[in-house]
Structures are given as structure tokens and as C-alpha cells.
């Protein structure tokens, strides 16, 4: 898994470098995004966890022709509904990189890797952290707006107590949202 992580970071860095190397034709990409986690779940030990909630963030990077790449930050808030336990409010901060392509048929697709993915319980500030990936698909038929569907997978392997989280928690979720991809020369 660490090899994949380092390869994805290197690939993203190369894409960002390639975009900035052709600055005469490249554009700065600024893309605020807003979404709602329509379905999230995780099976951890013997418990089944369901959650949904709002999120916001932004992407900052470059775009050359249809290729895009850069950095992504996302903040989420939701309530974990766990079988056999009390509900708990959570916040999550994710920071990572993305690469993607804008197709000429009003569709864009991207892959993101979150090298920092931290989930915090608001009542006691305990946290778990790890990394995650995202696959996104957007429809850009409306000017200055992209309607997006994203699939996210996270792997949490570290706790605030300083130990390893065993077994790892691996939530998966679908997010429906909108973004406003602005490109500046």
C-alpha cells in the first residue's frame, strides 16, 4: 500500500509540474465545491455504521488543454449512526492531490488521493486518521458549474491514543455535489 501511495503522490507531482512547465498555455484552476454525502457506511468489528452529511472545500491547481491536476481540501460534518451504540457527531478534514481530464462532451473525470484524512469525534476530540482515495465524475453542461458524483474510500489506521487502529476502519461513501471550476490565465 505504501508503494501505491508514493507512486500516486509522484504521479500527481509530475502532473502538476507538467502543467506549470507550460505556463504560456496553462491556466490556474480554482474550484470551490459543496456537496452532501448521500450514503456512507462502514463495518467495524461487529458494528455497522451509517452516516451522511454536508461537506465543502476547494481544489487549487492547473489546467492545460483538458488535463487538470493540483491539491484538494475537503471538510465534512456528519453523525455516525452505529448499531448497538449511541450516535456520535464527527468532523473530517481531508487534504490531498488530484489528477483528471475535462472531456469535450460536457463530462470531466478525476482521481484523488488524500494523504491526510482525519476523522474527529466532536464530543471528546478523539480522532482516527489515515488516507483515502476518490473517483469523481462531473457534468459540465451548465456554464461555470459542474454537477458531481464522487465515490470515496478511506482507510483509518492510527488513533489519538498513539496506537495503531486494529483492524483498520474502511468507510466508503457516495457524495453528490456541485463545484464552480474557474480557470484563470
Tens of pLDDT along 101-113?
999 899 999 999 9
Write out the three cell numbers for 121: 469525534
DSSP sequence for 1-57: -HHHHHHHHHHHHHHHHHHHHTTTT-EEEEEEEEEEEEEEEEEETTEEEEEEEEEEE
**What are the phi and psi torsion angles at 97 (to 5°)?**
-125, 160
Q: Which pLDDT tens digit goes with each residue over 60-79?
A: 999 998 999 999 999 999 99
**What are the phi and psi torsion angles at 146 (to 5°)?**
-125, 130
The model's pTM is: 0.84
Mean pLDDT of the chain: 88
pLDDT confidence of 18, banded at 50, 70, 90?
low
pLDDT confidence of 44, banded at 50, 70, 90?
confident
Q: Do the Cβ atoms of 54 and 77 come closer than 8 Å?
A: yes
Amino acid at each position: 500500500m505504501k508503494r501505491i501511495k508514493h507512486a500516486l503522490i509522484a504521479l500527481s507531482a509530475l502532473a502538476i509540474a507538467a502543467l506549470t512547465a507550460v505556463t504560456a498555455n496553462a491556466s490556474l484552476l480554482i474550484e470551490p465545491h459543496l456537496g452532501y454525502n448521500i450514503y456512507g457506511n462502514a463495518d467495524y468489528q461487529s458494528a455497522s455504521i451509517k452516516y451522511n452529511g454536508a461537506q465543502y472545500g476547494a481544489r487549487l491547481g492547473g489546467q492545460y488543454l483538458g488535463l487538470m491536476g493540483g491539491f484538494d481540501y475537503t471538510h465534512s460534518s456528519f453523525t455516525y449512526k452505529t448499531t448497538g451504540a449511541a450516535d456520535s457527531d464527527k468532523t473530517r478534514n481531508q487534504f490531498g492531490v488530484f489528477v483528471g481530464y475535462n472531456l469535450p462532451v460536457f463530462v470531466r473525470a478525476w482521481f484523488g488521493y488524500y494523504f491526510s484524512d482525519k476523522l474527529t469525534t466532536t464530543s471528546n476530540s478523539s480522532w482516527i486518521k489515515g488516507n483515502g482515495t476518490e473517483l469523481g465524475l462531473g457534468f459540465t453542461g451548465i456554464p461555470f458549474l459542474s454537477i458531481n458524483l464522487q465515490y470515496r474510500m478511506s482507510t483509518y489506521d492510527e488513533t489519538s491514543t498513539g496506537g495503531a487502529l486494529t483492524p483498520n476502519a474502511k468507510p466508503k461513501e457516495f457524495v453528490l455535489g456541485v463545484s464552480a471550476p474557474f480557470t484563470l490565465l
